[in-house]
Structure 1
Amino acid sequence: MWDERFDREDYVYGEQPNTFLTEQWQQLELAANPGGVLCLAEGEGRNAVYLATLGHDVICVDLSEVGLKKAKLLADKHGVIINTEKADLATYETKANFYQAVVMIFAHTPPAIRRRSLNQARKALGRDGYLILEGYSAAQIGRGTGGPVTTDMMFDEQELRTVFADDEILVCREIERDIREGAFHSGIGSVVQFVARKTEPSS
């Protein structure tokens, strides 16, 4: 499905980074001390490329070979280097206690894979590392402005709080906002926004 969606000349979610990501990155001042960043379900690479322009060492993980090729082209366009890795989040294993940040932007998957991905994201973070996540909530169903068509694919505040219960949760909210990201995110959407700082290393 994703190879088919990405197999077109334009970037289906646009070339600009997600605005929640850029706002949080600036507030947390993560660009002041560039480090390793893991972008999960990163698609065509718009967020990974943005972070690379800030000097970060970025790994862009996605299931779609087509999306990753476009990510490389976008990086070339901006004169930066990103690392790409084709992987299924159902089985992908991250390095433990390693990254400055993990980014999950509209990384919608079935429930079991979503929960596993969240746990892998936490595992990947070094101490004081940040998860930055935005995704559609169940209230998005029926809007027609983006996202999956079933509630089980959506993000939920309580699930996020549970996975990061031992950490510092900086942002956890469900809001409506106008999203303009290419052809497939266009209009008012109901989203969950979440930022957590890992306070204890993974065992």
Structure 2
Amino acid sequence: MNTSLQTPGRLLLPGEGEGRNAVFAAQKGWEVFAFDQSETGRDKALQLAQNRGVQIRYDALDLHSYPFEEGFFDLIGIFYFHLPEALRAFAHEQFIRALKPGGALVAELFSKDQLGKSSGGPQSLDLLYDQESLRKDFSGLDIRYLAAENIRLEEGKYHVGEASVIRLLAVK
């Protein structure tokens, strides 16, 4: 495992929703930066952080408004961030630019094989991922792991059952 995943530093979580990953990471010592376009999600995340006694920085911004600072983050975690294909190249370029040299990017995303499954996720191919496009978009990084996997989700009543995901680990 890459040391940037083991040693807490600055972590970015785009499309963070209600903040469970952000709060968990903050409890592990990470300095967490998160954003999502939902103000409701941000408010729930900040309340969860307060309830758990940790601090996170969470902005209610869309992808084009977030101030990506070059070489700022030790780790970027992309978890179930459902972006239309037209926005992905821009987003992925920003993520690569925002990573420090030696920083890592981890992702778990619904694959195109998720279409029609009842375990959650978008039911539009435009919002699902494939390995080839991720390999292309992150070709500027050292891809250490990229695989399609079938997993069992148990993430609340709307995300239960077998799911098809793609997992990625890449280092700058």
TM-score by length of 2: 0.94
The 2-side partners of 1:93 and 1:116 are apart by 13
Structure 1 contact 31–55 (Cα < 8 Å) conserved: no
Residue 59 of structure 2: which of 68, 85, 96 is its match?
A: 85
Structure 2 contact 5–75 (Cα < 8 Å) conserved: no
Higher strand residue share: 2
Is 1:185 aligned to 2:159, yes or no? yes
The 2-side partners of 1:112 and 1:43 are apart by 21
The 2-side partners of 1:50 and 1:166 are apart by 29
The 2-side partners of 1:92 and 1:113 are apart by 14
In structure 1, stretches of 5+ residues that fail to align are: 1-26, 199-203
Q: Which residue of 1 aligns with 2:144?
A: 170
The 1-side partners of 2:40 and 2:83 are apart by 18
C-alpha deviation, 1:183, in angstroms: 2.4
C-alpha deviation, 1:90, in angstroms: 4.1
Q: Which residue of 1 aligns with 2:120?
A: 146
Residue 169 of structure 2: which of 195, 198, 202 is its match?
A: 195
- 1:27-42 pair list within 5 angstroms: 27-30=1-4, 32-42=6-16
Percent sequence identity over matched residues? 34
C-alpha deviation, 1:29, in angstroms: 4.5
C-alpha deviation, 1:93, in angstroms: 3.8
Q: Which residue of 2 aligns with 1:20?
A: none
Residue 28 of structure 2: which of 42, 46, 54 is its match?
A: 54
In structure 2, stretches of 5+ residues that fail to align are: none
Q: Which residue of 1 aligns with 2:84?
A: 110
Query: How many positions carry a matched residue from both structures?
Result: 172
Listed one character per residue, the Cα deviations across residues 51-86 of structure 1 (whole Å, up to 9, x for unaligned) are 111111111100000001110111112110000111
C-alpha deviation, 1:28, in angstroms: 3.5
The 2-side partners of 1:48 and 1:79 are apart by 13
Residue 100 of structure 1: which of 57, 74, 87 is its match?
A: 74
The 2-side partners of 1:98 and 1:122 are apart by 10
Structure 1 contact 111–152 (Cα < 8 Å) conserved: yes
The 1-side partners of 2:6 and 2:107 are apart by 20
Listed one character per residue, the Cα deviations across residues 167-191 of structure 1 (whole Å, up to 9, x for unaligned) are 2111100111101111221110000
Root-mean-square deviation (CA, aligned residues, Å) is: 1.4
The 1-side partners of 2:26 and 2:112 are apart by 32
